Amino acid sequence: MKNLKGFRGKYFSLAAILALNATIALASEGQSVVDNEKQLYTPKAEASSETTEVLEESSAPVVVISKKIKVSEVGAPFASEVYNKKEIEQSHSKDIYEFLNTQTSVTAMPSYGNPFTQAIDMRGYGLGYGYQNTVVTVNGRRLNTIDQVPQLLSSIPIDSIEKIEIIKGTGSVEYGDGANAGAINIITKDYEGAVVKSYVGDNGLWFGSLGVGVKEEKFSISGYIDDYSHNGFKQVSNDGTKDESWNRNKSIKATVTPIEDLSFNLGKTFSKMNVNYSNSLSYAEYKNDELDKIKGYSNQYYRSDVLNAGTNYKINQKLSFDAQLFDEDKVSKYTSGGYRSSYDYDYKSFDTKLLYNDTSVKALIGVQGFNGERDSGNNETTKENLGVYVKADYLLDSHTFSSGYRDEKVKYTYKSSTQNLESDTSLQAYDLGYNYKINSKTSVFTNFNHSFQAPDIDRFFNPVYDAFWNIIGTQFNGFIKPMQADTINIGFNYISYPHTLKGTLYYTWVDDEIYYNSLSGYNTNLKETEKKGFELSERYQIFSNLFTILNYTYVDTKIVDDGSGGLYNGRKIPGVSPHTAKIALGYNPIKPVTLLLSQTYKSRAYAIDDFDGSYGKMESYHVTDISATYTYKNYEFFAKVNNLFDEKNAMFVDFGGATPSVYPINYERTYMVGFNARF
């Protein structure tokens, strides 16, 4: 590993901040000739699940709450981040995980080395379990799983995405189970014409995709196909096996509008992926730069087959009805050393809502259902959720009042040749929000949200062992309780060219936070924890050819009462970096050329599951990327260097050993070059 002296990543962070302050001081207030899509972009109404409505400020950017109630970004009574397709394309991220980790307030890291199912964290719930406290949807379909496997975002090609919305510290009424930190909504685009993209890089990186679509007055059809492969960074087995991977996705969707106020939609998505990833290094091996040492590997194969269908009917000018059905068949095969597992998943869900939309009142009643089943061949385990909710926004001059309530029932079953177990619970969520528009560009808001998380099936059922530690059965976990959180947000928005500036202060009280206690060997609860923090984001068009982006988060976590005698009282939640900063500087030296320099920094944090802090804080995370894009008519050529300064980064995990286990991540410089063409 090359160890650069002098101008390393942490100094680049400081230099970038100083440069940002200096350029702001020199900024011109003149009108930019660069297209500022953040200000001009208004998402198209999608007949599948969105009701068209007229906003007071037609040019204002729009936040769509799971495509249920639409509000202007400056008028939203909650904290949010919105990223449109131009910003996503401009980043030249390989996948959605890279975009989230480098461009947003969300942290994403390969889960124990697996790049296809990455752990995500938002608002201090930790890389260990943060993904279970954030609901992720794609076109309204819930991606959260019923067990301890993160959301499979690798099945969503980043080039198919129209918009990403991050709703923070709220959303439990609309999304239900697991929305303690908030929600990430991903909306894919409809292709019109054809789009071709391809890139290559070091270590055998190759990607190719094709998107095509036709749009007529009463009919549209759109689809894509892509293929990703990587030969791997290093040898992971003595037989010559490398940490190679491949991922293939296909999708097609169609919308029919037989009459003006009625539409039907139908879609099919198919994904396959396979990855070898190295087992962990010891801490000594990591410190000694033995990152290429052969440690054995795990193999993960996924197949996901999704069918969705729905309808939207505009009953009159104020009332509309929407119903969406989803059916996913998923297969997971995992091998690690002598351990093998094979699971078949069957996820069926629906989302129906009746929406009322008037000038001053916007309200909806919704019913959502999710039935998840996991079959291992020897046993069948299910988790069923059924939620009913109401939500309303009331607009009075410059004031927006928002309120909502949800009741959700959760049922568990376990069936084997010898056992048949059942259990159920009922949980509630509610939300109150207020936004005051000081003027058309500036607003302040506050929000109070009560949320919950029902345990997944891996936490709710414990194996029963014999005297020789062989599994002889399964029992309900009497040590686990549903998790509940109360969050208060206070923030401001200033959205007017050349600024998009947002800030939020928040405080969260959590009862019965779910975690794995390595001392007892059980999944159980921390009786009381708290999280408080500050979020700041700014996009500033300094000159017509120069812009900056800053995304900074601070979070402080504390275990108030561990519920187990006070061993962990006063400790931090592990896997949470108190400070995260993401800075970018974009420059157009000439009109067709865009240069983008970005830096991601995460401060030192305790290793995942190191609740007693026995290892101390681990190393911080630094990555600097640079890209160049040349555009000519409908053609785009780009090049990107990741980890420009060859920094060494890793995920650290407490498996109960004398030192942490280490999974190297972004530990060497990589590059890629490619093109994009539209016809």
Q: Above 70 in pLDDT, residue 470? A: no
DSSP structure class, residue 14: H
In this prediction, residue 471 carries a pLDDT of 63
Q: Show the DSSP H helices in 510-653 as ranges.
A: none
Q: Listing from the earlier edge strand, what are the strands of the sheet with 134-138?
A: 79-84, 161-168, 182-188, 134-138, 141-142
What pLDDT digit, counting tens, does each position of 310-355 carry?
999 999 999 999 999 999 999 999 999 888 999 999 999 999 999 9
Grouping H, G, I as helix, E, B as strand and the rest as coil, residue 404 is strand
In this prediction, residue 469 carries a pLDDT of 62
Residue 168 · residue 105 · CB < 8 Å: yes
Beta bridge partners of 310: 265, 324
d(CA 584, CA 597): 5
Residue 672 · residue 637 · CB < 8 Å: no
Exposure string over 352-375, b if 16+ CB within 10 A, otherwise e: bbebbbeeeebbbebebbbbbbbe
What pLDDT digit, counting tens, does each position of 199-247 carry?
999 999 999 999 999 999 999 999 999 999 999 999 999 999 999 999 9
In this prediction, residue 27 carries a pLDDT of 35
Residue 520 binned pLDDT confidence (cut-offs 50, 70, 90): confident
Identify residue 312 by its one-letter amino acid code.
N
Could you tell me which of 89, 90, 88 has the C-alpha nearest to residue 100?
A: 88
DSSP structure class, residue 89: H
d(CA 147, CA 655): 20
In this prediction, residue 339 carries a pLDDT of 87
In this prediction, residue 63 carries a pLDDT of 52
d(CA 308, CA 349): 10
C-alpha distances (whole Å) from 356 to each of 12, 42, 67, 360, 392 are 51, 21, 13, 11, 9
Grouping H, G, I as helix, E, B as strand and the rest as coil, residue 158 is helix
Could you tell me which of 535, 502, 494, 508 has the C-alpha nearest to residue 447?
A: 508
Residue 24 binned pLDDT confidence (cut-offs 50, 70, 90): very low
- pLDDT > 90 fraction of the chain, expressed in percent and rounded: 79
DSSP structure class, residue 643: S
Residue that wins the pLDDT comparison between 467 and 340: 340
Residue 656 binned pLDDT confidence (cut-offs 50, 70, 90): confident
Cβ partners under 8 Å of residue 345, min gap 6: 145, 146, 328, 329, 330, 331, 332, 372, 373, 374, 375
Cβ partners under 8 Å of residue 248, min gap 6: 225, 226, 227, 228, 271, 272, 273
What pLDDT digit, counting tens, does each position of 27-81 carry?
333 222 223 333 322 333 333 333 333 344 434 455 555 557 788 888 899 999 9
- pLDDT > 70 fraction of the chain, expressed in percent and rounded: 89
CATH 3.30.43.10 assigned to 9-678: no
In this prediction, residue 57 carries a pLDDT of 40
Cβ partners under 8 Å of residue 432, min gap 6: 402, 403, 447, 448, 449
d(CA 657, CA 447): 43
What pLDDT digit, counting tens, does each position of 132-175 carry?
999 999 999 999 999 999 999 999 999 999 999 999 999 999 99
Task: Read off the pTM.
Answer: 0.90
Exposure string over 569-590, b if 16+ CB within 10 A, otherwise e: bebbbbbbbbebbbbbbbebee
Paired tokens of 443: 């607003």
What pLDDT digit, counting tens, does each position of 478-517 carry?
889 999 999 999 999 999 889 899 999 999 999 999 998 8
- DSSP for 456-515, written as a single string: PHHHHEEEEE-TTS-EEEEEE-TT---EEEEEEEEEEEEEETTEEEEEEEEEEEEEEEEE
The arithmetic mean of pLDDT across residues 602-627, rounded, is: 96
In this prediction, residue 210 carries a pLDDT of 97
d(CA 124, CA 112): 19
| Mean pLDDT, the chain, integer | 88
In this prediction, residue 517 carries a pLDDT of 83
Residue 434 binned pLDDT confidence (cut-offs 50, 70, 90): very high
d(CA 513, CA 532): 15
Paired tokens of 521: 């060997």
